[in-house]
Amino acid sequence: MKVIVKRACGHTTAEALYGSAAERERKTRWLDRSVCTACYRAAELTQAQCQTSTLPTLTGSQAQIDWATTIRAGALIQVDAVGDHCTTPADQVLFAELHDRLTNITAAAWWISQRGASAHVLLNAVRTSSPT
């Protein structure tokens, strides 16, 4: 059943709802309180841009840059969490070097190709090569 829902952001969206009447009503109430996909993505991009504003500017098409900005912000949060577990001075120095190399990768295409990679995979990628 298709319904038109006014979202919390003010936009209206057509949504296909399935299930019992109670389930459809519950889903409609939830949709009323949430923002549309376009507004969610815009907010996610804005947050990622704020988190990465001190990093070098990414290169590529605008669509690639927008996508890679979000990927890079999330990846660096994971990488920083790994750094919190470096206990010896040698580990901390190595981590700082790899983190620096990682944050200086400006090719949006590289970040997109690494989407979903774990922090360990990203750190290993910059350890074994020098992507740009």
End-to-end CA distance of the chain: 49
pLDDT tens figures, 11-47: 899 999 999 999 999 999 999 888 888 888 777 777 7
DSSP codes, 47-89:
HHHHHTTTSPPPBS-HHHHHHHHHHHHHHHHHHHHHHTT--SH
pLDDT tier for residue 59 given thresholds of 50, 70 and 90: very high
| Confidence (pLDDT) at 130 | 57
| Confidence (pLDDT) at 126 | 86
DSSP codes, 27-44:
HHHHHHTS--HHHHHHHH
Q: Is 27 exposed, middle or buried, given 0-12, 13-18 or 19+ CB atoms closer than 10 A?
A: middle
